[in-house]
Amino acid sequence: MAYVIVGVAAGQPDQQYVGFFAFSLGCVAALCGWHARNQDRRRAALSRVSRADPLTGCLNRRGFEERFDAELSRASRSGRPLGLVMLDLDHFKEINDTRGHAAGDDVLRWAVEVMNDVVRPMDTIGRIGGDEFAVVLPGAGPDDSSAVAGRLQQALKDRAPSSVGVACFPSDGADLDELQRSADAELYAGKRGREPNIKLTSKELSWATTLARAVDERMAVQHEHSWKVAEYCVAIAQRHEWSEAEIELLQMAAILHDVGKVSIPDHILKKREPLSEREWTAVRKNPVRGAEMVSRIQGLEAIVPWIRHSHERLDGGGYPDGLSGDAIPLACRILHVADAFDAMTSGRPYRRSMTTEEALAELRANAGTQFGPLCVRLFEEHLEVSEAA
């Protein structure tokens, strides 16, 4: 427009020339405007992506914190309460370990879909960790927040049992950090206070024993190895002051710890000569196969990682995952000591059995590298008391 005005004011302009040049300038201006608008859209899309979790579609930590700060500012101005629910999926790592990360991702997506169906339209869900979620509840006081938390737990319990903690503004804190600490404290107090919710029946023990006996017979073991390992595990766990429910689970894990050997050929199980590397590879798959089999049994999910990691060494030289130190669950360390002792003191096609003293000396010599020192010491105390009796 400025060009046209100047061209006309200059006097005697060539109308065709002015018109063509003005049209060209208009096209350039339109293209610049389109490009600027397109860039604005891209920036908005990138902003949304940077605040969203790509797997589940809910807000990520950054996006959730920004949304929570906005809701907290609004609650401060209006004097209305604001609820925060922290939610942690129980045993999620076990799903990744036993069924693979694809199955874990599927559980996370399903959990967010279920939570979106439970919460109100004005509530916001954020994924703030691998298996940790948070929900901001505008206008919700302690009672309403606890009710939402209860509905979330109920909705998730069949496929992804969870622990929850609740905090409310202003009674539990004045900012996100204070409220999150308060909710986390309640969450972990509840997680620690819960015992495994399985109660083993004589029927379950019966079929587990039958399956274990079939494995023992294939290995040409002259006694019930699985039950002997279970007996030793119970003795160690009792000295660890485990609860009755935990000991029952450990007993079941001990009975089933070798169940994966049903897939190993007889010529390997009963071979008198040293195994080849290929044959050892087949044997090392035993705990993985056993864990996969037990994971299909409803109610025994808690012992799946115990079976999978029952052959891990304290120094990281075990299998199948090479876990070391405290990364190995205590139940697995107990199971490893009990299994090794019974294996050493019972006959095998390829070697003679050791005496109790020889086997104990072997446990002591490898305490701190292969075996947990405390488990070895408690087991030795058990044997001393048993022999004295």
Q: How do the domains of the chain map onto residue ranges?
A: 2-50, 61-193, 202-388
- Phi, psi angle pair for 11, to nearest 5°: 90, 140
What string of H, E and C letters represents the secondary structure of 369-381?
Answer: CCECHHHHHHHHH
Q: Using CA atoms, how far apart are residues 221 and 223, in angstroms rounded to an integer?
A: 6
pLDDT the model gives residue 245: 81
What's the whole-number average pLDDT of the chain?
A: 83
pLDDT the model gives residue 209: 66
For residue 6, pLDDT beyond 60? yes
Q: Provide, rounded to the nearest whole percent, the portion of the chain with pLDDT above 70.
A: 85
Q: Provide, rounded to the nearest whole percent, the portion of the chain with pLDDT above 90.
A: 34
pLDDT the model gives residue 152: 93
> Where is pLDDT greater, at 14 or 57?
57
- The conformational region for residue 273 under phi > 0 = left, psi -120 to 50 = alpha, else beta, is beta
Q: Residue 84 is inside which H or E element, if any?
A: strand 82-89
pLDDT the model gives residue 266: 74
Stretch 4-20: mean pLDDT, rounded?
Answer: 71
Q: How confident is the model at residue 216 (pLDDT cuts 50, 70, 90)?
A: low
Q: Using CA atoms, how far apart are residues 314 and 101, in angstroms rounded to an integer?
A: 25
Q: How confident is the model at residue 198 (pLDDT cuts 50, 70, 90)?
A: very low
Query: Highest mean pLDDT: which of 85-94, 185-194, 363-372?
Result: 363-372
pLDDT the model gives residue 82: 94
Domain 202-388 architecture: Orthogonal Bundle (1.10)
Q: Residue 117 is inside which H or E element, if any?
A: helix 101-118
Range scoring the smallest mean pLDDT among 23-37, 54-68, 117-131, 261-275? 261-275
Q: How confident is the model at residue 352 (pLDDT cuts 50, 70, 90)?
A: confident
* Crossing angle between the packed helical segments 202-218 and 244-256, to the nearest 10 degrees: 30
Q: Using CA atoms, how far apart are residues 302 and 293, in angstroms rounded to an integer?
A: 13
Stretch 6-18: mean pLDDT, rounded?
Answer: 70
> Where is pLDDT greater, at 1 or 144?
144
Q: Using CA atoms, how far apart are residues 92 and 116, in angstroms rounded to an integer?
A: 20
> Which residue, 90, 106, 294, 274, is CA-closest to 197?
90
> Tokens at residue 285, please?
């798959």
What's the CA angle centered on 176, arms 170 and 177, to 5 degrees? 110
Q: How many CB atoms lie within 10 A of CB 269?
A: 18
Q: How confident is the model at residue 241 (pLDDT cuts 50, 70, 90)?
A: confident
Its pTM surpasses 0.85: no
Task: Summarize pLDDT for 53-69 with one digit per residue, the tens.
Answer: 888 889 998 899 999 99
Task: Summarize pLDDT for 300-337 with one digit per residue, the tens.
Answer: 778 888 999 999 999 999 998 888 888 888 999 999 99
For residue 206, pLDDT beyond 70? no
Q: How many CB atoms lie within 10 A of CB 158?
A: 8
pLDDT the model gives residue 347: 64
Cα–chain center distance at 21:
67
Residue 110 CB contacts under 8 Å (≥ 6 apart), including other chains: 159, 160
For residue 132, what are the β-bridge partners? 88
For residue 201, pLDDT beyond 60? no
> Where is pLDDT greater, at 178 or 313?
313
| Class (C level, CATH) for 61-193 | alpha beta
pLDDT the model gives residue 74: 92
Amino acid type, 9? A
pLDDT the model gives residue 45: 58
pLDDT the model gives residue 197: 45
pLDDT the model gives residue 219: 63
Range scoring the smallest mean pLDDT among 27-31, 49-53, 345-349? 345-349
Task: Summarize pLDDT for 249-279 with one digit per residue, the tens.
Answer: 898 899 899 888 877 877 777 777 777 888 8
pLDDT the model gives residue 238: 93
pLDDT the model gives residue 53: 87
State how beta strands 82-89 and 132-138 pair: antiparallel
Cα–chain center distance at 373:
27
For residue 227, pLDDT beyond 80? yes
Q: Residue 349 is inside which H or E element, if any?
A: none
Range scoring the smallest mean pLDDT among 10-14, 193-197, 314-318, 325-329? 193-197
Residue 174 CB contacts under 8 Å (≥ 6 apart), including other chains: none
